[in-house]
Chains A and B, each alone.
Chain A
Amino acid sequence: MKLDDLQKIAEHEVDFQRAYKHRINVCCSSGCVPFGALKVLKAFQEAVREFGVEKECKVARTGCVGTCSVGPAVIIDPGDYLYQSVTPEKVREIVRDHIVLGLPVKDMLYHGEAFFKKQRRLVLRNAGKIDPSRIEDYIAMGGYSAIGKCLATMTPQGVIYEVSRSGLRGRGGAGFPTGQKWSLVARTHTTPKYIVANLDEGDPGVFANRTLAEADPHAIIEGMLIAAYAVGAEKGYIYIRAEYPLAIQTLQKAIAQAKGMSLLGDNVLETGFKFDLELRFGAGAFVAGEETAILASVEGRRAMPRPRPPYPANSGLWGKPTLIQNVETLANIPVIIQNGGEWFSKVGTAKCSGTKCFSLTGQINNPGLIEVPMGITLREVVYDIGGGMQDNRPFKAVLVGGPSGGCLPEALLDLPIDYDSLTKVGAIMGSGGIVVIDDQSCMVDTAKFFTDFCVEESCGKCVPCRAGLVKIKETFENITQGTGKLDDIAALDKAGQYIKEASLCGLGQTAPNPVLTTLRYFRDEYVEHIVEKKCRAGKCFRNLKKEEDDAQ
């Protein structure tokens, strides 16, 4: 297949889709399938046949729309009508009223319009709109035209220049400038070079990368192709958690399709450019998402991080230069190439351009997957997109950055979301988890919960993380069981600071964040626990209560 053929496929596919008057997109991502999305899909297929509208209705299985709390979600185009909590029983009614009679079923429509209003979808541009199992769908949306543009009209340096100009920073959490990373790899003369896409999302409550892979696998593949062209790599790996079966399936299919159309392989689009791609499955550990641990795991060794330098850009897989990028970063690349780096740099803030996907969860009305421009405030995320607190309960804190993020109080709600402001207040961008906490949660208990997680996930290599976190956990147990001492607060502070500064990898360096931020912003709750043996949320001292009950 040549470049021109790509254009032809796109045109043909657009014509093919125009032949349908309606398009029914049923979200079949990991969020909606447990709610019965597959049955809904089948019901739609049967219903359109029943009403004799299968010629004018295309029923498609798509990826995530974002409204994960009200699944299964169904979008009917044209008009972008979003139906929530669709059941197979309701399907006939929807098809009859909406498709046949042209009257959308109002009481089944999604009413949280604010959920979408402040979002900006670049990475998730195709999520919920295309069938991820059909490469033609992606091509019809302009897919693979960016790699086409690179191969036909741009030099590798030109690609890196555009990416640098876009101001894109790594979405894996640390926020390293992507263009700079690329030129580091491009500049090395050692060959072969490798690309690794990080899809090992280990945080509890975080599902942005998985959803991306399930909804738009080709965006990741195209991003990798462009990166490979820019840095001169011939082989790539997608490192994905083995716990993501649907995403694995989707990606495997996508890779096979891309190979079939010679978008991957020895002669990409007959230009002589060579790039091959393989999946590698994660070792089921949180730490395996750390870039040097990924390298070890891809090579077949125990997924333990190693000190940097040498950075993977110089010595990565099998000692060769390796570019490691989060899949979200890679999915941004085609957009940048199509629209230009300058255009992209205007999205978001001056220092942090672009958007960021967040898994929004917790005690709010509209949890789900969101993509927002950088610089949006936490208040907008919680109250506008999130639709405010569930049952109008008082807001207490928001945990930004997953299990090793920071718990921020109400006073910081107007903080703009970008790498630097988050770091300043003790949180991190991390993998993009936002958990909203109301007054039913105890901050001491919350910090304890996330510390427990990090204790379980520590690889055991360096002392601060391995032994230090255990001691923090024990101190928490004392505090929440009524045997805490006031000195414990200082000890937690000291140990937390030490672990943060002395640990080897990102896991250890960020693991004390929940402890340190709750100590910083919710210290009174600690004191209350220790001095008064009182937990205002009623979560702690279960053992004491039990003893009292037993005594009575």
Chain B
Amino acid sequence: MTVGTVKLKIDNVEVAVPEGTTILEAAKSNGIDIPTLCNLEGLSGYGGCRLCMVEIHGSPKLFAACVTPVGMGMEVITQSDKLREYRKMAIQFILSERTHICAVCVANNACELQKLANDLGVDHVMFEREWTRLPVDSTHDFLVLDRNRCILCTRCLRVCDEIEGVHTLDLKMRGKDAQVIIDLDEDWANSSSCTSCRKCAKVCPVGAIYVESVALEETKDKGIAEFVLSRRNRK
């Protein structure tokens, strides 16, 4: 089967990409930056954080660039006042739902949420903040899960399932109460499936999963999923 080429415009720049490419990939390969948070190269698309929302000319709806495939003749707008405002609101909502205190967080200065907030010019949260006291799991030899810092992007779930292939991590509850759990909601130390591969800590965009007593800058590795995939697919 041959893969066709799709021509479209992103921010008035004409680009041509293979069929099936997402808008995000198409933008990226042409040097156009769209902010993302839950998305990670090498993992399946999730579409949860809604930061990569773009407008498509002629449609009243907004589209998540990370999961929307390109279409012939599309005119994509990645920057507008509305999108900027909505992206700021997304960050504010995320910051407001759990205890996100940069000053005492292991991820300070290595945090994607913090960086996005700074880049997008979020200077305060217009809503009342929640101060959560969710359980912290530090039973594992060196991995720690702090649910109060979790933004439910599910990168850890996906890397655990899709790349490591063990599906140790999953979600329980729903809505604002949703929490990452280990196996069937057990202590990490008792997990029979966890391989201690650290991939979850490597891809966590914030300080929710981290390796104990190691500087976060050293453990973060956003490229891990793509790296494993590329090695796996090597002939």
Per the CB under 8 Å rule, do A and B touch in the complex?
yes
Flag if B93 contacts A459 (CB, 8 Å). Answer: no
Flag if A504 contacts B175 (CB, 8 Å). Answer: no
Query: How many angstroms between the C-alpha atoms of A464 and B89 in the bound complex?
Result: 9
* CB of A471 within 8 Å of the partner chain: yes
| Interfacial chain A residues near B90, Cβ < 8 Å | 463-464, 502
Interface membership of chain B positions 157-178, coded 1 if the CB is closer than 8 angstroms to chain A and 0 otherwise: 0000000000000110111111
Flag if A495 contacts B47 (CB, 8 Å). Answer: no
| Interfacial chain A residues near B93, Cβ < 8 Å | 463-464, 467-468, 471
| Interfacial chain A residues near B171, Cβ < 8 Å | 302, 460
* CB of B216 within 8 Å of the partner chain: no
Interface residues of A in 23-65 (CB under 8 A from B): none
| Interfacial chain A residues near B46, Cβ < 8 Å | 461
Interface membership of chain B positions 39-79, coded 1 if the CB is closer than 8 angstroms to chain A and 0 otherwise: 00000011111100100000001101001110000000000
Give the contacting residue for B175; candidates A309, A466, A474, A503; CB below 8 A: A466
Flag if A307 contacts B175 (CB, 8 Å). Answer: no
| Interfacial chain A residues near B64, Cβ < 8 Å | 307, 504
Q: How many whole Å from A4's CB to the nearest CB in chain B?
A: 47
* CB of A501 within 8 Å of the partner chain: yes
| Interfacial chain A residues near B67, Cβ < 8 Å | 307
Closest to B53 in A: A502
| Interfacial chain A residues near B174, Cβ < 8 Å | 285, 287, 457-460
* CB of A470 within 8 Å of the partner chain: yes
* CB of B128 within 8 Å of the partner chain: yes
Query: How many angstroms between the C-alpha atoms of A14 and B206 in the bound complex?
Result: 70
* CB of A306 within 8 Å of the partner chain: yes
* CB of A462 within 8 Å of the partner chain: yes
| Interfacial chain B residues near A464, Cβ < 8 Å | 50, 89-90, 93
Q: How many whole Å from A200's CB to the nearest CB in chain B?
A: 15
| Interfacial chain B residues near A458, Cβ < 8 Å | 174-176
Interface membership of chain B positions 66-107, coded 1 if the CB is closer than 8 angstroms to chain A and 0 otherwise: 011100000000000000001001100110110000000000
Chain A residues with a Cβ closer than 8 Å to the other chain, count: 31
Give the contacting residue for A495; candidates B69, B89, B130; CB below 8 A: B89
Known: A462-B47, A498-B89, A504-B47. Is A471-B175 also a contact (CB below 8 A)?
Answer: no
Interface membership of chain A positions 248-291, coded 1 if the CB is closer than 8 angstroms to chain B and 0 otherwise: 00000000000000000000000000000000000001010000
| Interfacial chain B residues near A467, Cβ < 8 Å | 93-94, 96-97, 176
* CB of B152 within 8 Å of the partner chain: yes
Interface size classification for chain B: 20 to 34
Interface centre among A309, A460, A462, A474 (most CB of B within 10 A): A460
Flag if B96 contacts A460 (CB, 8 Å). Answer: no
Query: How many angstroms between the C-alpha atoms of A501 and B68 in the bound complex?
Result: 16
Known: A302-B171, A307-B45. Is A462-B50 also a contact (CB below 8 A)?
Answer: yes
Closest to B49 in A: A463
Query: How many angstroms between the C-alpha atoms of A467 and B132 in the bound complex?
Result: 13
Interface membership of chain B positions 93-135, coded 1 if the CB is closer than 8 angstroms to chain A and 0 otherwise: 1101100000000000000000000000000001110100000
Query: How many angstroms between the C-alpha atoms of A262 and B57 in the bound complex?
Result: 52
Flag if A457 contacts B175 (CB, 8 Å). Answer: yes
Flag if B178 contacts A504 (CB, 8 Å). Answer: no
Flag if B178 contacts A460 (CB, 8 Å). Answer: yes
Query: How many angstroms between the C-alpha atoms of A307 and B46 in the bound complex?
Result: 8
Interface centre among A462, A468, A471, A475 (most CB of B within 10 A): A471
Flag if B97 contacts A466 (CB, 8 Å). Answer: yes
Closest to A509 in B: B61
Query: How many angstroms between the C-alpha atoms of A307 and B67 in the bound complex?
Result: 7
Flag if B176 contacts A460 (CB, 8 Å). Answer: yes
Interface membership of chain A positions 411-449, coded 1 if the CB is closer than 8 angstroms to chain B and 0 otherwise: 000000000000000000000000000000000000000
* CB of A491 within 8 Å of the partner chain: yes
Flag if B94 contacts A463 (CB, 8 Å). Answer: yes
| Interfacial chain A residues near B49, Cβ < 8 Å | 462-463
Flag if B86 contacts A501 (CB, 8 Å). Answer: yes
Give the contacting residue for B48; candidates A285, A309, A463; CB below 8 A: A463
Query: How many angstroms between the C-alpha atoms of A502 and B126 in the bound complex?
Result: 18
| Interfacial chain B residues near A462, Cβ < 8 Å | 47-50
Closest to B67 in A: A307
Query: Can you name 19 A-B pairs with beta carbons within 8 Å?
Result: A302-B170, A302-B171, A309-B69, A460-B177, A461-B48, A463-B49, A464-B89, A466-B152, A466-B178, A467-B94, A467-B96, A467-B97, A467-B176, A470-B97, A474-B128, A475-B127, A491-B127, A502-B50, A502-B89
Beyond the given A287-B174, A463-B49, please list 8 additional residue pairs across the A-B interface where CB-CB is below 8 A. Answer: A307-B68, A459-B178, A460-B152, A461-B46, A463-B48, A471-B93, A471-B128, A502-B53
User: Using a CB–CB distance below 8 Å, which chain A residues touch chain B?
Assistant: 285, 287, 302, 306-307, 309, 455-464, 466-468, 470-471, 474-475, 491, 494-495, 498, 501-504
